[in-house]
């Protein structure tokens, strides 16, 4: 039976590319929203979910950190995709004919220099691959989309300009989610452990909670905060650390963190991708 991996977006999206690169033996399953991709895994219609969490140019993907703790899913791997932004037009179109480009705001923000240089009008679209499909449907040589080479192939478009992103290392990080957590994996190199926590409402709680990682020599590679339920006093944190929960120093750091929190939830532990380097 073919295994399936769900992603947010339409065929040709960068999440689709991530599925091909990270799990080539899985059938990629497009979903309109992150919620639907997560639900596909939770319900068993898909075995894994490919969820975009942050981009090196644009920053974190909005709302995803709110969805992860409530998803009931666990992180089993991470994947990094080098996001090459391409200008796609209908067959026979020329770059100097293009008047307007459409794409998600995230992608438009990653190619501002190209848009200014060619004085293009922009149109915010729900999905990069959907923007490419719309251009193919319109058949207008004045219309274009920012999207992937995979989208050009799927929708029969010409690539009028390649790699137009502002930053040459433009990369998106994805988390691969599954229904079950696996704490037995060790990998051949560094392990990453991801968790969420909410500090107790006492003075200097965050400072004291973080002290355990410093004193135990645990490297924290990410710490992000976000409000919970619209309450300014209930701030939740998402963190990534290097190490495995069974490592003695990580155990001590998490025990110390637990003392200063009223919520601590492990989201997963998984091998660090080589692309982190």
Q: The domain that contains 33 carries what CATH number?
A: 3.40.190.10
Q: CA 69 to CA 211: how far, in whole Å?
A: 24
What pLDDT is stored for residue 113 in this prediction? 95
Identify whether 183 is part of a domain.
no
The total of structural domains in the chain comes to 3
Q: Let me know whether 201 and 215 are in one domain.
A: yes
The answer to whether residue 172 is catalytic is yes
Domain boundary among 151, 178, 205: 178
Query: Which one from 114, 174, 195, 213 is the annotated catalytic residue?
Result: 174
pTM score: 0.88
Residue 102 forms part of a structural domain: yes
Asked if 27 and 144 sit in the same domain, the reply is no
Count Cβ atoms within 10 A of the Cβ of residue 231 and give its class: 0-12 exposed, 13-18 middle, 19 or more buried. exposed
Q: What is the 3-state secondary structure (H, E, C) of 245-259?
A: CCCHHHHHHHHHHHH
pLDDT of res. 195: 95
Catalytic residue among 57, 114, 172, 197: 172
Are 206 and 261 in the same domain?
Answer: yes
Q: Are residues 75 and 97 in the same domain?
A: no
Domain annotation covers residue 96: yes
Determine the structural domain holding residue 239 and report its residue range: 191-276
Task: Examine the residue annotation and report whether 260 is marked as an active-site residue of this protein.
Answer: no
Q: What is the pLDDT of residues 29-83, one digit of tens each?
A: 999 999 999 999 999 999 999 999 988 877 777 677 778 888 999 999 999 999 8
Q: Which residues of the chain have pLDDT under 70?
A: 62, 187, 228-234, 277
- Contact status, residue 153 vs residue 139, Cβ threshold 8 Å: no
């Amino acid at each position: 039976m073919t295994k399936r991996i769900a992603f947010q977006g339409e065929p040709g999206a960068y999440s689709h590319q991530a599925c091909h690169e990270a799990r080539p033996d899985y059938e990629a399953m497009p979903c309109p929203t992150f919620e639907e991709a997560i639900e596909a895994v939770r319900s068993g219609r898909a075995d894994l979910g490919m969820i975009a969490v942050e981009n090196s140019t644009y920053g974190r993907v909005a709302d995803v950190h709110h969805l992860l703790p409530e998803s009931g899913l666990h992180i089993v791997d991470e994947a990094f995709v080098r996001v090459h932004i391409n200008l796609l037009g209908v067959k026979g179109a020329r770059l100097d004919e293009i008047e307007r480009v459409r794409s998600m705001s995230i992608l438009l923000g990653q190619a501002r220099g190209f848009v200014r240089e060619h004085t293009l009008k922009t149109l915010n679209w729900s999905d990069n691959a959907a923007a490419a499909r719309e251009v193919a449907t319109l058949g207008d040589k004045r219309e274009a989309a920012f999207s992937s080479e995979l989208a050009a192939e799927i929708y029969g478009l010409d690539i009028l300009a390649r790699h137009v992103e502002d930053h040459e290392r433009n990369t998106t990080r994805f988390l691969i989610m599954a229904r079950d957590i696996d704490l037995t994996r060790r990998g051949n190199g560094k392990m990453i452990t991801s968790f969420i926590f909410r500090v107790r409402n006492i003075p200097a709680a965050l400072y004291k909670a973080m002290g355990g990682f410093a004193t135990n020599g645990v490297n924290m590679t990410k710490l992000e905060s976000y409000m919970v339920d619209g309450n300014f006093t209930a701030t939740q944190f998402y963190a990534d650390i290097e190490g495995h929960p069974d490592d003695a120093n990580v155990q001590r750091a998490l025990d110390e963190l637990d003392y200063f929190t009223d919520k601590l939830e492990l989201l997963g532990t998984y091998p660090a991708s080589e692309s982190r380097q």
